[in-house]
Amino acid sequence: MSKVIAQIKHSSEEIYRKILARKKPSMKFPVRSLANVRYHPSKGFLEIAGQKKERTLTVSTVKTFAQALRMIALSKTLIETDDFATKRDAYYQTKNWDDARCLDQVESDTIMNKELAA
């Protein structure tokens, strides 16, 4: 099992445990800002550092929280099947998510760019 799949499973199990305990589930994501990157000369690229932001499920974040979970599940499936999806492909996948569907490409891209990129 890949490290990413193991992290996805661990995070989703934690969210599930909190829901069963009637506590607010949350997810942590890397902060995407220049203040949270470092350059690795030997690797030749910037890498996101350790600062994280926490997203907690609230009444006002139900849809985006659900969308992030669905996008994580899509990512897990793509990794397990050694497949890929463009941002446009991912957006069209969201069309089948009932109330959590993305209304446009921008909404889908925002979830991938702000919530899931690491």
Kindly report the three-state secondary structure assignment for every residue of 14-49: HHHHHHHCCCCCEEEEECCCHHHEEEECCCCEEEEC
pLDDT value of position 40: 84
Helix and strand numbers (H, E) in the chain are 4, 4
Amino acid in position 8: I
Band of residue 117 on the pLDDT scale cut at 50, 70, 90? low
Q: What distance in Å separates the CA atoms of residue 23 and residue 10, rounded to the nearest whole number?
A: 17
Q: Is residue 66 part of a domain?
A: yes
Q: Is 118 a residue whose pLDDT tops 70?
A: no
**Residue 16 within a domain:** yes
Q: pLDDT tens, 30-61?
A: 887 888 888 888 888 888 888 888 889 999 98
For residue 35, being part of any structural domain is answered with no
Determine, yes or no, domain membership for 47.
Answer: no
Whether residue 43 is contained in a domain is answered as no
The span from the CA of 73 to the CA of 50, in Å, is 23
69 C-beta neighbours (distance < 10 Å), count: 18
Domain residues for 18? 3-27+57-116
Pick from 18, 96, 21, 106: nearest CA to 57: 18
pLDDT category of residue 115 using cuts at 50, 70 and 90: low
Catalytic residue among 16, 39, 91, 92: 92
Is 37 inside a domain boundary? Answer: no
65's enclosing H/E stretch is: helix 62-80
Give me the number of domains the chain comprises. Answer: 1
CATH assignment of the domain containing 77: 1.10.10.10
d(CA 27, CA 18): 11
Q: What percent of the chain has pLDDT over 90?
A: 58
Q: By the 8 A CB rule, do 68 and 111 touch? A: yes
Residue 65 domain flag:
yes
Average pLDDT across the chain, whole number: 89
Catalytic residue flag (residue 39): no
56 pairs with which residues across the strands? 26
Tell me whether residue 94 is in a domain.
yes
The pTM for the full model equals 0.78
